[in-house]
Amino acid sequence: MLTQLHPTPAAPDADLLTDAEAEALARATLRLFDRWQLTDAEARDLLGGMTARTWARWKAGEVGRITRDLGTRMSLLMGIHKALRYMFSEAERGYGWIRQPNTAFAGQSALAVMRGGTLFHLARVRSYLDAERGGW
């Protein structure tokens, strides 16, 4: 017998992340960007065009409110990092991979694709890596 499932509300009442979760995710993102050796401009692009002032506050440890978009971006970035760690036994090779030209991206690097500006650009790289490592 079939049981009706109730739909998930489009805007749930609960916050996306608790303050502690937001701070931890921001710290992890900062560490990842350091490992990827991103410039400030590259980092801000991956976070959705964050202003230089807000980025400076983040680097100083002052993380403000994490919007749904920003949380999703950081989640995708963590998934990309995780996939690269599974794919490369040497962490440094995985960190460097994001800057290498890739035929799957028409010769562009994964970083160039991710800097495209939308969540879909980040998701494209994440989906590619998941498919490559057999995560589908």
pLDDT in tens, 73-82: 999 999 999 9
Element (H, E) at 59: helix 52-59
Can you state the angle between helices 19-35 and 52-59, rounded to 10 degrees? 100
Average pLDDT over residues 87-105: 93
Q: What is the pLDDT of residues 28-38, one digit of tens each?
A: 999 999 999 99
Q: pLDDT higher for 3 or 104?
A: 104
pLDDT at 65: 82
pLDDT at position 49 = 92
pTM (two decimals): 0.84
Give long-range contacts, CB 8 A cutoff, 24+ apart: 37-42. 37/95, 38/111, 42/111, 42/115
Residue 107: band (very low, low, confident or very high) from pLDDT cuts 50, 70, 90: very high
Q: What is the pLDDT of residues 36-88, one digit of tens each?
A: 999 999 999 999 999 999 999 989 988 888 888 999 999 999 999 999 999 99
- Rounded Cα gap, residues 18 and 41, in angstroms: 27
Quote the pLDDT of residue 95: 93
**pLDDT of res. 11:** 61
Amino acid at 124: R
